[in-house]
A and B are shown apart, each in its own frame.
Chain A
Amino acid sequence: MLTLTCPYCGVAAEETELHPGGESHLKRFGPGSSDTDFEAYLFARKNPKGVHFERWRHLYGCGKWFLAARDTATLQVFGTYRAQTPTPPAEIVAAIQAARPHWQPDWDTSPPRNAEGDSAPGLGDDPAPNPTPARDSFA
């Protein structure tokens, strides 16, 4: 049986004590976002065969949501960590790479907003709004 250690209360909880919550680290796109982003946020999933990051809830324990790194092909658990992290922490990455030397993170691991300028797309970092007014396509 799958056993995950809750990072909040420290209990090594069996699967029956937990509730699975699907892919973690999803960026929420809500009102005002593009249809494509909104659809992807709601439905498109990585669903990898291999290293996967997901949400779990310690339902019959402390009740907290936490995150886990797990291999979906072998069920090996690499570690669990708190839910308040935008990307998996370094020690989780190290634990994965100890077991899967060729595995590479698919997120930007460079320190945020460094001197060379952050080029992460989609974070509202457009230099200035486009001065040309948008054309009304119904006109």
Chain B
Amino acid sequence: MSVMTPASDATPQHGATARRSGRYSVFAIVRQAMGLHAGWGRAWASPEPRRRYQVVVVGAGGHGLATAYYLGKNHGITDVAVIEKGWLGGGNTGRNTTIIRSNYLQDPSAAIYDKSLKLYETLSQDLNYNVMFSPRGLIMLAQTEHEMRGYRRTVHANHLQGVATRWIDAPELKRLVPIINIAGPRYPVLGGLYQERGGTARHDAVAWGYARACSDMGMHIIQNCEVTGIDTAGGRVRAVETGRGRIECDKLAIVVAGHSSALAGMAGFRLPIESVALQALVSEPIKPCLDVVVMANTVHGYLSQSDKGEMVIGGGTDGFNNYTQRGSWQHVEETVRALIETFPMLSRLKMLRQWGGIVDMTGDRSPILSATPVGNIFVNCGWGTGGFKAIPGSGWAMAELVARGTPGPLAAAFGMDRFAEGRFIDESVAAGVAH
């Protein structure tokens, strides 16, 4: 690869030793306090785009930024630009309810989500950025006989996969979640699937931490720059057209979640993706009353309490294609109605905010990490309602795919050829609801 790099970007830096943005530590806080905190450097640079990069990543959500980060960290490729039409982390990454778990039914899912969870466990140290990972535990409620059988099956599958989960009965569940009403009447709580290592993290911080680490390695994060066209010739990409001019690349990674169909269209292929709105809402802050994440998939609702005290609530998606980051009112009503039966104390809370994101749903509700009909274009999409938890693992696997041109063990099962071959990774039974 004969790529010209300006002198200031010529030395890739690995690890956290020589940070341009300065290393964050308790000593740094003390030192900066002396200067009334006026001396903190910028966490990432806002460079002018170069004419050419080895790898261009479209989309500075968590998955795009993590892809760039592991390209540098694991494969030594730092001549990378991440191009974002809005602001970094402003898509689904900054709009989700931050649930992290790896208790999936199918083996390929468990592998990539558990890799992700393990990376989350040390992410704050690895990035030198506090992502506020909080492994507070996660319970998926069983409120029907079928769900109970389904989750027991998942527990067995998880044991075989080496993912620690266990079935807990209703009395134990009540001890862990005192505010829950297990008696029903419509959907009594029969027990739950408990993953003690599950939890939450601060969504913005995940994007910001990766962005800072990428910038420190000399990568360019170019915000407010929409990709409007993809120039291909002879089955290969040559450049992307953007709001800030034409940018050439040797390889292109498309990591744009809800806009994946649009980008694929620019490159001349179609994806098995439909974009729909998924919503979340938060209540006014209250005193700590819930220190685990609870998901109730039968009634389509899930709940956790943020460190600020807000109850963070999510529910189901809209059923029709939608690119507005809003969503339908009746889904808010449906979610809240379901949750107040199980958590009666919520009925007294005022809701502060409601918002939506555009999620990318595949035919089998599993993601796509794949080569494409265009030789040097790779896609990472289809994380739908549940990809925040997957950011580190997905970035790891995607970087491997982009660097080598062929998928490693984590991505192998997630190629889009699976739809032609009927080799689905059917998580829709286990995870048909937003998560």
Interface residues of A (CB under 8 A from B): 1-2, 15-16, 19-20, 22-23, 35-36, 39-40, 42-49, 52, 54, 72-75
Query: Which residues 268-287 in B have Cβ within 8 Å of A in the complex?
Result: 270-275
Q: Is the CB of A1 within 8 A of B323?
A: no
Q: Is the CB of B323 within 8 A of A43?
A: no
Within the complex, the shortest CB–CB distance from A133 to chain B, in Å, comes to: 27
Chain A residues near B328: list those with CB within 8 A. 1-2, 15
Q: Is the CB of A45 within 8 A of B420?
A: no
Chain A residues near B323: list those with CB within 8 A. 49, 72-73
Tell me if B16 is interfacial: C-beta within 8 Å of chain A. no
Query: Which residues 399-430 in B have Cβ within 8 Å of A in the complex?
Result: 419-420
Chain B residues near A54: list those with CB within 8 A. 320-321
Q: Is the CB of A47 within 8 A of B273?
A: yes
The CA-CA distance from A31 to B70 in the complex, in Å, is 44
In the complex, besides A48-B321, A49-B262, A72-B321, 15 extra interface pairs with C-beta distance below 8 angstroms are A1-B329, A15-B328, A15-B330, A16-B330, A39-B419, A42-B363, A44-B272, A45-B271, A46-B270, A47-B261, A47-B275, A54-B321, A72-B275, A73-B323, A75-B322
Task: Name, among A1, A16, A35, A43, the residue most crowded by chain B CB atoms within 10 Å (CB to CB).
Answer: A43
Query: Which residues 308-322 in B have Cβ within 8 Å of A in the complex?
Result: 319-322
Nearest 9 CB-CB pairs, A to B? A43-B272, A47-B261, A20-B320, A20-B319, A44-B270, A39-B420, A43-B363, A73-B323, A49-B323
Within the complex, the shortest CB–CB distance from B174 to chain A, in Å, comes to: 34
Q: Is the CB of A73 within 8 A of B319?
A: no
Tell which of B259, B272, B319, B329 touches A45, judged by Cβ atoms closer than 8 Å.
B272
**Cβ contacts A to B, 28 pairs, < 8 Å:** A1-B328, A1-B330, A2-B320, A2-B328, A16-B330, A19-B319, A20-B320, A23-B321, A39-B419, A42-B419, A43-B419, A44-B270, A44-B271, A44-B272, A45-B270, A45-B273, A45-B274, A46-B261, A47-B261, A47-B271, A47-B275, A49-B259, A52-B321, A54-B320, A54-B321, A72-B322, A72-B323, A73-B324
Chain B residues near A1: list those with CB within 8 A. 328-330
Q: Is the CB of B320 within 8 A of A40?
A: no
| Chain A minimum-CB-distance residue to B326 | A75
Within the complex, the shortest CB–CB distance from A26 to chain B, in Å, comes to: 13
Within the complex, the shortest CB–CB distance from A77 to chain B, in Å, comes to: 11
Within the complex, the shortest CB–CB distance from B1 to chain A, in Å, comes to: 34
Chain A residues near B271: list those with CB within 8 A. 44-45, 47
Q: How large is the interface on B (under 10, 10 to 19, 20 to 34, 35 or more residues)?
A: 20 to 34
Chain A residues near B319: list those with CB within 8 A. 19-20
| Chain B minimum-CB-distance residue to A71 | B323
Tell which of A36, A46, A72, A75 touches B420, judged by Cβ atoms closer than 8 Å.
A36
Chain A residues near B259: list those with CB within 8 A. 49
| Mask of B332-346 contacts with A, CB within 8 angstroms, 1/0 | 000000000000000
The CA-CA distance from A72 to B358 in the complex, in Å, is 11
Q: Is the CB of B420 within 8 A of A35?
A: yes
The CA-CA distance from A22 to B329 in the complex, in Å, is 20
Chain B residues near A42: list those with CB within 8 A. 363, 419
Chain B residues near A44: list those with CB within 8 A. 270-272
| Chain B minimum-CB-distance residue to A15 | B328
The CA-CA distance from A49 to B321 in the complex, in Å, is 9
Query: Which residues 164-199 in B have Cβ within 8 Å of A in the complex?
Result: none
The CA-CA distance from A46 to B273 in the complex, in Å, is 8
The CA-CA distance from A36 to B329 in the complex, in Å, is 39
The CA-CA distance from A45 to B382 in the complex, in Å, is 13
Task: Name, among B321, B329, B420, the residue most crowded by chain A CB atoms within 10 Å (CB to CB).
Answer: B321
The CA-CA distance from A46 to B270 in the complex, in Å, is 7
The CA-CA distance from A45 to B330 in the complex, in Å, is 26
Given contacts A2-B328, A20-B320, A72-B322, contact A45 B261 (CB under 8 A): yes
Chain A residues near B273: list those with CB within 8 A. 45, 47
The CA-CA distance from A86 to B324 in the complex, in Å, is 28
The CA-CA distance from A98 to B262 in the complex, in Å, is 24
Task: Name, among A2, A35, A49, the residue most crowded by chain B CB atoms within 10 Å (CB to CB).
Answer: A49
Q: Is the CB of A74 within 8 A of B324?
A: yes
Within the complex, the shortest CB–CB distance from A67 to chain B, in Å, comes to: 13
Chain B residues near A23: list those with CB within 8 A. 274, 321
| Chain B minimum-CB-distance residue to A39 | B420
Within the complex, the shortest CB–CB distance from A27 to chain B, in Å, comes to: 14
Query: Which residues 242-269 in B have Cβ within 8 Å of A in the complex?
Result: 259, 261-262
